[in-house]
Structure 1
Amino acid sequence: MSPDPSGRRARVVMVEPALTQLTELTANGTHRLDRAIVAISVNPDLGTQVPGTLLPDYTDEIDGVRVIYYVTALRTITIVAYIEA
């Protein structure tokens, strides 16, 4: 993963379903998810497009984390819609 040359990271916001899922994670799951969210905030092009939607789906096979998200037009905010860890 190569970081954005500008050094900027997108702000990450979680919508209600993701917040609910977050409360059910263990400390280990939260730690693994945090690493994935940092990676997405630095490089929002990591995910692959969910067919029929505008939502990228990022899966980190090593950490066992999946995040479905949306990036705003100016790429300053990443909105997380779904998480698995």
Structure 2
Amino acid sequence: MSPERGARRARVVMVEPALTQLTKLTASETHRLDRAIVAISANPELGAPVPGTLLRDYADDVDGVRVIFYVTAFQTITIVAYVEA
């Protein structure tokens, strides 16, 4: 028998604006943002839907980060459009 595995995480891709924002973050901010992105990849239904769009807005008040993203139809890829830390 094969060992049990946890739920499969979505692959995370960042679009250009998010990549540009990422280059401006400190190491501490990047670390905090990393935790949020891992959480989103494990549970793509985190955050609130942005009305009238496919986007979701996830804010983690404890770590002080915000990520705007959308998930592909089969929930295999999470596309990050905006990051804030």
TM over 0.5, shorter chain: yes
- TM-score, with structure 2 as normaliser: 0.91
Q: Look up the match of 2:65.
A: 65
Q: How many percent identity over aligned positions?
A: 78
Identify the residue that residue 42 of structure 1 maps to in structure 2.
Answer: 42
Distance 1:37 1:82 in 2: 11
Name the counterpart of 1:31.
Answer: 31
Q: CA deviation at 1:32?
A: 0.2
Distance across 1 between alignment mates of 2:51 and 2:74: 23
Q: Which amino acid counterpart does residue 84 of structure 1 have in structure 2? A: E
Q: What is the total number of aligned residue pairs between the two structures? A: 81
Look up the SS of the partner of 1:13 in the other structure: strand
RMSD of aligned residue pairs (Cα, Å): 1.1
| Residue 20 of structure 1, CA deviation | 0.1
Unaligned runs of 5+ in 1: none
**What secondary structure is seen at the aligned counterpart in 1 of 2:12?**
strand
Instruction: State the match for 2:11 in structure 1.
Output: 11
